[in-house]
């Protein structure tokens, strides 16, 4: 049956930044499909862990500051999940930050921190989980790209640079790993109602301009990504490699 190819029974997933928003939606979607879930996050992920456990899945929380974490610390965090849950089959690289300042005044610290978590930590997480997946001959990596993987945005130069990099890393790893059983793809969420977009939604002019361009006529919500998370994590997507899938209410085609 086709629905069987979407099942994640017996799989172990790591979700970064899973204490709220898109990361929490990913963790719950994967758990509903059958996966056990480890949340790597700087914030308190106890709510997500409890929700995963309420679905009858194993869950754990590992606190890590991905802005400051070294590659060795990231390796250790992934290895700890593998030891405690019996492996790593799925990685969702969701953790990220955005800093809004005009380019001419964009602080060096803002640039550095955005690149550190959105790009550098993401790559090292791909490496750490990817090594385990390559050794076992299967795995799925889902990176979170953005509309700004395709566009330049306004007052977010570091974020735009990092999200273009996410698309590039996704394609580069897919080229190397698709033939070895490891699927690497990305989701590019459209304008979603999350903490990262609170300033935009509070700005009446920007909010109206954004809504006017979305054919679906609304901001997205984290649950809108659930089906895509499960698809990319499951055997149903085995022949997909290096894709950047927009889930945007039609923003890019307008």
CA dihedral 184, 125, 45, 202 (to 10 degrees): -70
**How much is the average pLDDT of 237-243?**
98
User: pLDDT of 28-56, one tens digit each?
Assistant: 999 999 999 999 999 999 999 999 999 99
Residues in the chain: 254
Q: Which pairs with CB-CB distance under 8 Å and at least 24 residues apart come from 51-58? A: 51/24, 51/27, 52/27, 52/28, 55/28, 55/31, 57/31, 58/85
Catalytic residue among 159, 191, 231, 239: 159
Q: What is the pLDDT of residue 141?
A: 99
Q: What is the pLDDT of residue 231?
A: 98
Evaluate if residue 1 carries a pLDDT over 90. Answer: no
User: pLDDT of 171-196, one tens digit each?
Assistant: 999 999 999 999 999 999 999 998 87
149 falls in which pLDDT band (50, 70, 90)? very high
**How much is the average pLDDT of 57-73?**
97
Q: Beta-carbon neighbour count of residue 11 at 10 Å? A: 22
**How much is the average pLDDT of 148-152?**
97
Could you give the count of Cα atoms lying within 13 Å of 101 in the half-sphere of its Cβ?
11
Percent pLDDT > 70 in the chain is 100
Q: What is the pLDDT of residue 108?
A: 98
Q: How far apart are CA 126 and CA 246, in angstroms?
A: 21
Is 239 among the residues known to form the active site?
Answer: no
20 falls in which pLDDT band (50, 70, 90)? very high
Block residue for tokens 């790009």: 119
**How much is the average pLDDT of 73-93?**
98
């Amino acid at each position: 049956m086709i629905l069987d190819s979407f099942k994640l029974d017996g799989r172990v997933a790591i979700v970064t930044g899973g204490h709220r928003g898109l990361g929490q939606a990913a963790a719950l979607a994967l758990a509903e499909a059958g996966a056990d879930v480890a949340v790597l996050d700087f914030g308190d992920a106890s709510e997500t862990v409890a929700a995963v456990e309420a679905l009858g899945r194993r869950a754990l929380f590992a606190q890590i500051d991905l802005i400051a974490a070294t590659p060795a610390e990231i390796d250790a965090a992934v290895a700890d999940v593998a030891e405690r849950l019996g492996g790593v089959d799925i990685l969702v690289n969701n953790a990220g930050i955005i800093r809004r300042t005009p380019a001419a005044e964009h602080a060096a610290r803002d640039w550095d921190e955005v690149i550190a978590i959105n790009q550098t930590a993401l790559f090292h997480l791909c490496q750490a989980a990817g090594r385990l997946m390559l050794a076992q001959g299967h795995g799925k990596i889902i990176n979170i790209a953005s509309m700004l993987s395709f566009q330049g945005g306004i007052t977010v130069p570091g974020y735009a640079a990092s999200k273009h990099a996410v698309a590039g890393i996704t394609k580069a790893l897919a080229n190397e790993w698709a033939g070895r059983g490891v699927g690497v793809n990305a989701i590019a969420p459209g304008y979603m109602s999350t903490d990262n977009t609170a300033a935009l939604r509070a700005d009446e002019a920007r909010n109206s301009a954004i809504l006017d361009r979305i054919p679906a006529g609304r901001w997205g919500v984290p649950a809108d990504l659930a089906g895509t998370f499960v698809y990319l994590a499951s055997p149903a997507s085995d022949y997909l490699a290096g894709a950047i899938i927009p889930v945007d209410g039609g923003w890019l085609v307008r």
